[in-house]
Amino acid sequence: MQKELWLFPIGALALLTFFVLVQVPIRRFYAGFKGMVTAKDFKFGESKRVPDWVVVVNRNYMNLLEVPTLFYLICVIHFLTDRTDSLSLGLAWIYVFLRILHSVVHLTYNNVYHRLAVFAFSNLILGGLWLDFFRYYI
């Protein structure tokens, strides 16, 4: 398999992150134009006046900058070591799909149990991706 295939799941997750990032100012400005918030509400983060539908997008963006760094790292390691097989690449795509699903749940109906289940499963897949890499050294 071509090692360049690793660039696609990396790019897909980065694209999701940029999509969510763009939602942050869109939702904040919309709330501002509706008179729900002022610039002062964001001076030290987000005040209690900021509506949940505005807060949640920022939280989702932060989620996409936390654990996924481990995903980016293991993908780059696979790329640099030229270790590409169907299992590892499949796990990478499953992880990306689950992160997309997590964002959809988080940014729409935001059921905590559904979000937790998807988040936990994505972390198990990510752990499996790391274990799969190191199986060659055990």
Q: Is the pTM of this model over 0.75?
A: yes
Domain boundaries, the chain: 3-134
Say how far apart CA 34 and CA 24 lie, in whole Å: 16
Q: Which SS3 state, helix, strand or coil, does residue 126 take?
A: helix
Query: Percentage of the chain with pLDDT > 70?
Result: 100
Distance of CA 41 to the CA centre of its chain: 26
- pLDDT tens digit sequence for 80-90: 999 999 999 99
Helices (H), the chain: 7-33, 52-63, 68-81, 86-107, 112-134
| Short-list 44, 58, 38, CA closest to 106 | 58
Mean pLDDT of 107-128: 98
Q: Please give the CATH number for the structural domain made up of 3-134.
A: 1.20.120.550
If pLDDT is split at 50, 70 and 90, which confidence band does 101 have?
very high
- pLDDT tens digit sequence for 23-43: 999 999 999 999 999 999 999
